[in-house]
Structure 1
Amino acid sequence: MEAIYIAYTISNVVGLFFLLVTIKWPKLARLLFVLLFAGASWFNYITCHTTPEAYLMYAESSVLECYKVFITGWFSQHITAVVSIIAIGQAMIAIGMLLNNWWIKLASSGIILFLACIAPFGIYSAFPFSVTVSLSAWFILKKDNLDYLWKFRSPGTSPNSG
């Protein structure tokens, strides 16, 4: 059980790091989101195909009874399919953060929605990591120029100039 507290602490330090980076360097934060969600996608896809029963542990940490019922019920019979779809969504978020304009808006919205959905897992979702990193996604929408990740604004140009 000690390992979960180490992972919890590391996750929340990373969440604070995301928030600080986003405020100062939103493009770097987008790159971090690409890495985070691509990694999560790969991990979830591999895990759900090799040890799908690992996802049943989330029922014990959920603060919402409906989550517990869902996980131990229907979800327990369809883990690989559901988590594969989640992994595809995570990969799409990673790709969206590389692109521009409405792709970034869609990916940022996906981040906020996904993290809101996992927040009730409490310590197993490293709450309040989901709140901190959702704020980061929101700050990207407010502070980034929403151009392709590999395009940087020239000094002296406004965020909305072509």
Structure 2
Amino acid sequence: MNFSDPNVLWIAYSLSNAVAILLLLAAIRSPKLARLLFAMLFFWASWINYSTSSATPEVYLEYGEKAVNLYAAFINGWFRQHISEFVKAIAVGQGLIALGMLLKGIWVRLACIGAIIFLLAIAPLGLYAAFPFSLIAGAACFFILKKDDLNYLWRPRVLFGHKT
């Protein structure tokens, strides 16, 4: 993302926070819809992060510009030398969160907890992580944990007297 263009930044920021609010509303009203949306979001993020960290890993250094001091020091220190490996590990975690949102029981619970931890962890990245997106989206995951029955997103259908 070209953070140097303020128009691009503010459009992305606004859209991200609008999505977070929609995720929160979905989690409150229809937790299964929220799980599907989170699965789509985390699969997309996984793909973007894996692809970007393979092709142009240096773009992740931009996150240090608006991050809190501790995160900025990490990004400009150890992370600078290990961008691709670190971001690919994050991408795998994001993919696992997405998959867990599609499953049931403990897998949904672990996916929600993983998402909450991840979303809290990116909050100190600040503006470039669309703060407060991650806090709102984390709250949505909490509502999924509290309101969803944690079954699969789909239900078996009865066709011609047989479950499918």
Q: In structure 2, what residue type is equivalent to 1:112?
A: I
| Among candidates 9, 15, 22, match of residue 4 of structure 1 | 9
Distance in 1, matches of 2:155 and 2:147, equals 15
Task: Give the secondary structure class of the aligned counterpart of 2:107.
Answer: helix
User: What are the ranges of 5 or more consecutive residues in structure 1 without an aligned counterpart?
Assistant: 153-162
CA shift at 1:151, angstroms? 2.7
Match of 1:72 in 2: 76
- Aligned structure 1 segments of 4 or more residues deviating by more than 6 angstroms: none
**In 2, Cα distance between the equivalents of 1:27 and 1:41?**
21
Aligned to 1:155: none
Q: Kindly indicate whether residue 51 of structure 2 is the aligned counterpart of residue 46 of structure 1.
A: yes
| Correspondent of 1:13 among 15, 18, 35 | 18
Match of 1:85 in 2: 89
Amino acid at match of 1:46: S
Corresponding letter in the other structure for 1:78: H
Q: In the aligned structure 2, how far is the partner of 1:110 from the partner of 1:151?
A: 25
TM-score (norm 1): 0.91
Q: Give the Cα separation in 1 of the matches to 2:139 and 2:20.
A: 10
Amino acid at match of 1:83: V
- What amino acid is aligned across from residue 50 of structure 2 in structure 1? Y
Q: Note if 1:33 corresponds to 2:67.
A: no
In structure 1, distance between residues paired with 2:73 and 2:124: 13
**For 1:33 and 1:68, how far apart are their aligned partners in 2?**
28
1:60 has 2:65 as partner = yes
The CA distance in 1 between the partners of 2:110 and 2:78, in whole Å, is 29
Percent identity of paired positions between Structure 1 and Structure 2: 53
Alpha-carbon distance between aligned partners in 1 of 2:98 and 2:152, rounded to the nearest angstrom: 13
Which of 103, 108, 120 is equivalent to 2:124? Answer: 120
Aligned to 1:158: none
Deviation at 1:144, TM superposition (A): 0.5
1:100 alignment partner in structure 2: 104
Measured against aligned partners, the alpha-carbon deviations of 1:22-54 in whole angstroms (never above 9, x if no partner) come to 111100100001100000000000000000000
CA distance in 2, matches of 1:16, 1:42: 23
Q: Partner of 1:133 in structure 2?
A: 137
Question: What is the match of residue 160 of structure 2?
Answer: none
